[in-house]
Amino acid sequence: MKCRKCGKTAIINLRHHNVAYCAEHFKEYFEKRVEMTIKKYSMFSRKDKILVAVSGGKDSTTVWFVLAKLGYKVSGMNIDVGTVPADVNKLKDFASSIGSELITVDSRELLEGLTVPEAAKIVKRPVCSVCGSVRRYIMNKVASENGFTVLVTGHNLDDEASFLLGNLLNWNLDYLRRQKPVLPATEEGFSKKAKPLVLLTEKETFTYAFINNLPFSEEICPYSKEATSLHYKHMLNEIELKHPGTKLRFYDGFQKANLFEDNMVVELKKCNVCGYPTTTDVCSFCRMKERLKSAVGEQKV
């Protein structure tokens, strides 16, 4: 197998594009594809102040690295929710090596001193669901308080294709409506959100992180082990093996079809307590906090 560009031995074969590359030309391909994705979906420009959600895993580390390399103004943010703590010193070193900065937030500060698993137990909700809403809330808060114009996450094509499959199998219309590579900011105070790796597979992202020697942890959150999305990923990979390009056609085709174009109107107002955009008078985060407060209070009495 030879690199299409230079004829040297290839390190990766991209069957969905029917092309193989050496390390050098794979890097070039990957970076061009990120740039193309940013332009294709009008995600952001070099004037934007970008905040990347950083977990220490390969996807978020890669998107942080690539955006810095491409000359975007980017900062990383790590949220410690009390599940799998990231190696913050390692992340700080990495940030300075790419000319970026790291912002750290401890979710306990906002959750009455409780970790996400502790809070989930009290409000009787699945850890992943509480974790997701706490992260979204904190990211939005940090972005709006610090003048960031775009929130970026490292979701790749495999992540998005498996969400899409799950959302279709369960006809989660609300999720399908919002499953886009970019979501605009809203007047009510939701920041713009973008996923620049959506057109790159997990294998491509892993290879890019690996050949660039990016420091990343492969630790999986203990609460996400049984995630159904992992099962969907395996199934999609089986189909992909026989029919290369399926994942990309599945995801990209859904975006092109734009099924929900005129259907985006959801009435939002500001939370009476914190000002966060919400569909109810008090946002779900503040309602959860209220329940935690009384639970913690009862324990102290």
Closer CB to Zn ion, 243 or 293, in the complex: 293
The reply, when asked if residue 59 is annotated as ligand binding, is yes
The reply, when asked if residue 53 is annotated as ligand binding, is yes
Q: How far is the CB of 129 from Zn ion (least distance, A)?
A: 17
The reply, when asked if residue 243 is annotated as ligand binding, is no
User: Beta partners for 289?
Assistant: none
Q: How far is the CB of 19 from Zn ion (least distance, A)?
A: 11
271/261 Cα distance (integer angstroms): 27
User: Beta partners for 150?
Assistant: 50, 192
The reply, when asked if residue 221 is annotated as ligand binding, is no
Residue 240 Cα distances to 17, 29, 117, 248, angstroms: 12, 21, 36, 9
Closer CB to Zn ion, 274 or 296, in the complex: 274
* Number of C-beta neighbours around residue 256 at 10 A: 9
Binding site for Zn ion (CB under 5 A): 3, 5-6, 22, 25, 271, 273-274, 276, 283, 286
Closer CB to Zn ion, 221 or 274, in the complex: 274
Closer CB to Zn ion, 110 or 151, in the complex: 110
Query: 156: which 2 tokens?
Result: 């790749």
**CB contact set of 222 (below 8 Å; sequence gap of 6+):** 83, 84
186/278 Cα distance (integer angstroms): 11
User: Beta partners for 103?
Assistant: 77
Q: How far is the CB of 11 from Zn ion (least distance, A)?
A: 9
The reply, when asked if residue 154 is annotated as ligand binding, is yes
Contact 111, 119 (CB under 8 A): yes
Q: How far is the CB of 282 from Zn ion (least distance, A)?
A: 6
66/61 Cα distance (integer angstroms): 9
The reply, when asked if residue 55 is annotated as ligand binding, is yes
H-helix or E-strand spanning residue 157 = helix 157-169
Q: How far is the CB of 17 from Zn ion (least distance, A)?
A: 15
Closer CB to Zn ion, 79 or 286, in the complex: 286
181/196 Cα distance (integer angstroms): 7
Closer CB to Zn ion, 141 or 155, in the complex: 141
Q: How far is the CB of 266 from Zn ion (least distance, A)?
A: 17
75/77 Cα distance (integer angstroms): 7
- Per the annotation, where are the binding residues? 3, 6, 22, 25, 53-55, 59, 79, 154, 159, 271, 274, 283, 286
- Per the annotation, where are the binding residues for ATP? 53-55, 59, 79, 154, 159
